[in-house]
Amino acid sequence: MRMDAGASRLTLGYLLLATLWVLLSDQLLAGLDLSVRLEERLQSFKGLAFVAFTGTWLYLLLHCHARARAQTWLSLSANTERLDLALDAARDGLWDWDPARQQVFFSPSYAALLGMTQAELGNTREAWAARLHPDDCEQALHALLTFDHTQHYENTHRLRHRDGSYRWILSRGRLLLDAQGKPTRFIGIASDITRRRADEESLRQAAAVFDATQEGVLVTDRALRVVHVNPAFTRITGYGAAEIIGQQPSLLKSGRHDSAFYHGLWHALQSRGAWSGEVWNRRKSGEIYPQWQNIRSIRDERGEVSHYVAVFSDISALKRSQHELDYLAHHDPLSNLPNRLLFTERVEHALERATVEQPGAVLLIDLDHFKHINESLGHNIGDLLLKAVGDRLGTLLDKGMTLARLGGDEFGLLCERCQDATQAASLARRLLSTLGAPFDLNDHEFYISASIGISLFPGDAENLEQVMRNADSALFKAKSSGREGYAFYVHELTEFARLRVELVSALHHALENHELRVYYQPLHDLASGALIGAEALVRWQHPQRGLVPPGEFIPVAEDSGLIGAIDAWVLEQACRQMVLWQEQAEAPRFVAVNVSSRQFGRDGLDRQVARVLADTGLDPARLELEVTESAIMANPDAAQALLHRLRALGVRLAIDDFGTGYSSLARLKRLPVHKLKLDQSFVRGLPHDSDDVAITRAVVALGHSLELKVLAEGIERPEQVEFLRQIGCDYGQGYLFGRPQPVAPALAVPPLASRRPVTVAPRTS
Ligand code: C2E
Ligand code: MG
Ligand code: MG
């Protein structure tokens, strides 16, 4: 427009100047009053001058105009280039719609968004609309028609690419209106947002997964502050997002793992960027539970750790089912007992720990003639019976024992700590006797029997296979020797153990049936020959075997735990006897009672003695307790303390069988005893055996130097007394003075057992 005004102004100026020149230049010449010739010549010159002037003027004008145009063109093309570059950099396309001509300009970059050239894309709205995705067509066209003209236009739609795929296009633009509000131009840019849409889509999906997943997710920043958790995290841990965000994940620690565990975890995270494993954590409720956890570190664009993400699942249910599976794999479903697999595992384990001092035993228990029951009464009854057998055997289990059903009618019993063959045999007898009682199943009464094979380890076998094979051949032996019995892998053991077991049960009977007796042997003063005391010695009046000496049953009683009851009975009997003797003239002044080394190692002997003294009313000074040297030396400190407590009661104390137990002199010096009883093995060779002579002299001298009295045991001949007298031995005991014998019925106390039942302590081993 400005160019047009300039052009008319120039033209008008020129017309005015030319007109003025035509009108005025002739008059000026006429006014000069020149000659005609000169005037003619000037007339020509004037014409030429006008042409030259206007020609120069025109030239200058055109030159200026051309320069201005060039300038404008330059800046225009720079702008266009800038715009193109900007659009290209942004990968955006330009569109420009001319409503008047109903034409659309699509920039080359716009066409490129769809893989086309401008020409291919065309320049009409229809061509554009034809490329719209059918699902977007309606809304895109509707948006064009209805958008608020005062606002910017913005619409997202899909356009078909040349390759047939659809691209998400974000189109933004502005409608320009003229003074009358008529649209003059609609211009804008279009961007391909297909990738962004896909990213947003996958982000949305990830967020949905994050929220919906069953796995707990916890995200921390690099300083290990929790920045994000998902709903599953809250469900599993009990902590709401608000409670945990900003905290350290160590809040969840259970304390079950040591620092080495966490060290390993961090090492893996730092070196590999990931760690996975089982972690025990604590819920808000305080419950500790197992998780399977995957932890990853996330690095930023500079490669530095920016976040840690932990994804975990609560595996407590899994653990439970694993446990159940494990149980199923290791147990027999019928009896609920461990099966062969678990049994052999335990035997193997027991084998590893067993030593000669601490042996173990495997007992294979096989029901006799079970097949007949199954065949005649059916498998249901058979199953019920097996279950009942398992239940019944189970009642005999002690600590360290495993009962298993190995298959069919075979059961196995592992006894991890079995003192010796006797204990295994007594266990076998108890098993057999418990099975001997009738079974009541479905209103039927059954009597069954079983055979047991016993293998001891590590004595008989060193590995699992040997143990099981030995037990199996022992079982075969038991079956072939008439069933309803037990056998050891080694025959001699069977016999020995049988005798011992029989002895133990017979001893039980002896106590219950009052078959025990107390015999007394006199103790004499060697110098004066006077009776000073009597030693109580237990005897067993066996109904068939007659009088059994203590040497035959005391060791068995000690092993089986019966010794406690026997000693208690003898002590009380002897004290009562002494109370009676007190009133007679020619009677011992004190009674000596033997205390088993087993009793001596236990607490409570002093209390027991005090109680008996109180019950019987015996003066403590009239009771002497004999403790063997070996019992003291087995646990010297405890023995010394016990002896002090006993002495505090006022009773007298003697060390029995002195010389056989390797007492240390230092120890002996501190023992609060009154008497040493020199063992009869040293007295036997007196006075001729030089060793016995030397030992006896030394013991007497030692005793006296410690201010103890010395008594010699087992004196059978007068020359022994003579020698002992010579060397100053104080007292003597032996067949020469008198054998152990019962008190004449008139002077004896009635048996205690009739007044009080004897309680038998259970064996503890
Ligand atoms: P001990 O306490 O050393 O008892 C002495 C043993 O020597 C007694 O044997 C006795 O009969 C025997 N004896 C005594 N004089 C002679 C002799 O001149 N020649 C020979 N050859 N032997 C003689 P006994 O009664 O068989 O007792 C043996 C051991 O049994 C006792 O040795 C004692 O350790 C233990 N004992 C006896 N009664 C009891 C008891 O009631 N409780 C406990 N725990 N042990 C007892
Ligand atoms: Mg004795
Ligand atoms: Mg003795």
* Nearest CA residue ID for atom 12, ligand 1: 714
Cα–Cα distance for residue pair 517/514, rounded to 1 Å: 8
pLDDT band at 764 (very low <50, low <70, confident <90, very high): very low
How long, in residues, is the chain? 765
What share of the chain has pLDDT > 70, as a percent? Answer: 95
Q: Which of 537, 570, 715 to mutate to test the pocket of ligand 1 (most atoms within 8 A of CB)?
A: 537
Distance between Cα 677 and ligand 1 center (Å): 12
Q: Is the pLDDT of residue 753 over 60?
A: no
* Nearest CA residue ID for atom 15, ligand 1: 734
Query: Which helix or strand (DSSP H or E) is residue 649 part of?
Result: helix 636-649
Distance between Cα 252 and ligand 1 center (Å): 71
Residue of 490, 370, 372, 469 whose CA lies nearest to 425: 490
Cα–Cα distance for residue pair 523/629, rounded to 1 Å: 20
Ligand lying closest to the C-alpha of residue 631: 1
Please name the residue that has the structure tokens 């039927």: 444
Please name the residue that has the structure tokens 């089982």: 278
**C-alpha distance from residue 58 to each of 65, 332, 731 (Å):** 10, 122, 169
Please indicate whether residue 37 or residue 332 has the higher confidence score (pLDDT).
332
Distance between Cα 528 and ligand 3 center (Å): 22
Q: DSSP state, 378?
A: -
pLDDT tens-digit profile of 6-32? 778 878 888 888 888 888 877 777 777
What is the DSSP track for 722-759? HHHHHTT--EE-STTT---BPPPTTTSPPPGGGTSPPP
Q: Is the pLDDT of residue 511 over 50?
A: yes
Neighbours of 210 (CB within 10 A): 17
Q: Answer for the pair 656, 650: CB distance below 8 angstroms, yes or no.
A: no
Distance between Cα 765 and ligand 2 center (Å): 26
Residue of 164, 104, 166, 102 whose CA lies nearest to 132: 166
Please indicate whether residue 396 or residue 358 has the higher confidence score (pLDDT).
396
Q: DSSP state, 249?
A: G
**C-alpha distance from residue 168 to each of 80, 86, 90, 92, 571 (Å):** 26, 20, 15, 12, 108
Cα–Cα distance for residue pair 408/413, rounded to 1 Å: 15
Instruction: Give the distance, in angstroms, between the CA of residue 290 and the centroid of all CA atoms in the same chain.
Output: 9
Q: Which long-range contacts link 250-253 to residues 24+ away (Cβ below 8 Å)? A: 250/224, 252/281, 252/282, 253/281, 253/282
Distance between Cα 732 and ligand 2 center (Å): 12
**Across the beta sheet with 92-98, what order do the strands follow?**
103-106, 92-98, 183-192, 166-177, 153-160
Residue of 761, 741, 756, 759 whose CA lies nearest to 577: 741
pLDDT tens-digit profile of 603-620? 789 999 999 999 999 999
Q: Answer for the pair 439, 384: CB distance below 8 angstroms, yes or no.
A: no
Half-sphere exposure of 383 (CA within 13 A, CB side): 7
Q: Is the pLDDT of residue 585 over 90?
A: no
* Nearest CA residue ID for atom 7, ligand 1: 714
* Nearest CA residue ID for atom 33, ligand 1: 594
Specify the pairing of strand 444-446 against strand 439-441: antiparallel
Q: Looking at residue 663, what is its pLDDT?
A: 66
Cα–Cα distance for residue pair 735/741, rounded to 1 Å: 11
pLDDT tens-digit profile of 164-196? 999 999 999 998 888 888 888 899 999 999 999
Residues with CB under 5 A from ligand 3 (ion): 656-657, 713
pLDDT tens-digit profile of 698-744? 999 999 999 999 999 999 999 999 999 999 999 999 999 999 999 87
pLDDT band at 263 (very low <50, low <70, confident <90, very high): very high
Cα–Cα distance for residue pair 180/183, rounded to 1 Å: 9
Which residues are paired to 190 by β-bridges? 93, 171
Specify the pairing of strand 486-488 against strand 183-192: unpaired
Q: Which residues contact 568 (CB under 8 A, 6 or more apart)?
A: 608, 612, 758
Which residues are paired to 367 by β-bridges? 450
Q: Looking at residue 525, what is its pLDDT?
A: 96
Q: Looking at residue 761, what is its pLDDT?
A: 36
Q: Answer for the pair 294, 272: CB distance below 8 angstroms, yes or no.
A: no
Give the largest CA-CA distance in the chain.
Answer: 210
Query: Which helix or strand (DSSP H or E) is residue 362 part of?
Result: strand 360-367
- Helix 316-330 to helix 340-353 angle, to the nearest 10 degrees? 90
Cα–Cα distance for residue pair 550/593, rounded to 1 Å: 13
- From the alpha carbon of 677, which atom of ligand 1 is closest? 3
Distance between Cα 671 and ligand 3 center (Å): 18
Query: Can you read off the two tokens belonging to residue 615?
Result: 């019950």
Cα–Cα distance for residue pair 406/413, rounded to 1 Å: 10
Specify the pairing of strand 709-712 against strand 274-282: unpaired
Average pLDDT over the chain, rounded to an integer: 88
Mean pLDDT of 530-549: 93
- Collapsing DSSP states into helix, strand and coil, what is residue 652? strand
Q: Looking at residue 484, what is its pLDDT?
A: 65
Residue of 716, 739, 719, 737 whose CA lies nearest to 727: 719
Q: Is the pLDDT of residue 4 over 70?
A: no
**C-alpha distance from residue 466 to each of 344, 463, 489 (Å):** 12, 5, 11
pLDDT tens-digit profile of 284-294? 999 999 999 99
Q: What is the CA radius of gyration of the chain?
A: 60
Cα–Cα distance for residue pair 505/512, rounded to 1 Å: 11
Domains and CATH numbers, the chain: 2-80 (no CATH), 90-198 (3.30.450.20), 222-320 (3.30.450.20), 332-494 (3.30.70.270), 514-754 (3.20.20.450)
Ligand lying closest to the C-alpha of residue 740: 1
Phi, psi for 161 (deg, rounded to 5): -80, 165
**Signed CA dihedral, 19, 20, 22, 23: sign only:** positive
Q: Looking at residue 364, what is its pLDDT?
A: 96
Q: Where are the beta strands (DSSP E) in 615-742?
A: 623-628, 652-658, 675-678, 709-712, 731-732
Q: Is the pLDDT of residue 636 over 60?
A: yes
Distance between Cα 576 and ligand 3 center (Å): 23
* Burial of residue 675 (number of CB atoms within 10 Å: 0-12, 13-18, 19+): buried
Mean pLDDT of 494-517: 83
Cα–Cα distance for residue pair 272/265, rounded to 1 Å: 10
Half-sphere exposure of 623 (CA within 13 A, CB side): 31
**C-alpha distance from residue 658 to each of 302, 421, 525, 588 (Å):** 89, 32, 18, 23
Q: Looking at residue 180, what is its pLDDT?
A: 87
- From the alpha carbon of 599, which atom of ligand 1 is closest? 44
Show the ligand 1 pocket: residues with CB < 6 angstroms: 521, 537-538, 549-551, 554, 567, 570, 594, 596, 626, 656-657, 680, 713-716, 733-735, 740
Query: Can you read off the two tokens belonging to residue 301?
Result: 């664009």
Ligand lying closest to the C-alpha of residue 711: 3
**C-alpha distance from residue 669 to each of 135, 698, 705 (Å):** 112, 15, 10
Cα–Cα distance for residue pair 549/546, rounded to 1 Å: 10
Q: Looking at residue 765, what is its pLDDT?
A: 29
Q: Is the pLDDT of residue 752 over 60?
A: no
Range with the lowest mean pLDDT among 90-104, 148-162, 478-492, 550-564? Answer: 478-492
Q: Which of 511, 713, 720 to mutate to test the pocket of ligand 1 (most atoms within 8 A of CB)?
A: 713
pLDDT tens-digit profile of 77-112? 888 788 777 777 777 899 999 988 889 999 888 999
Please indicate whether residue 81 or residue 531 has the higher confidence score (pLDDT).
531
* Burial of residue 624 (number of CB atoms within 10 Å: 0-12, 13-18, 19+): buried
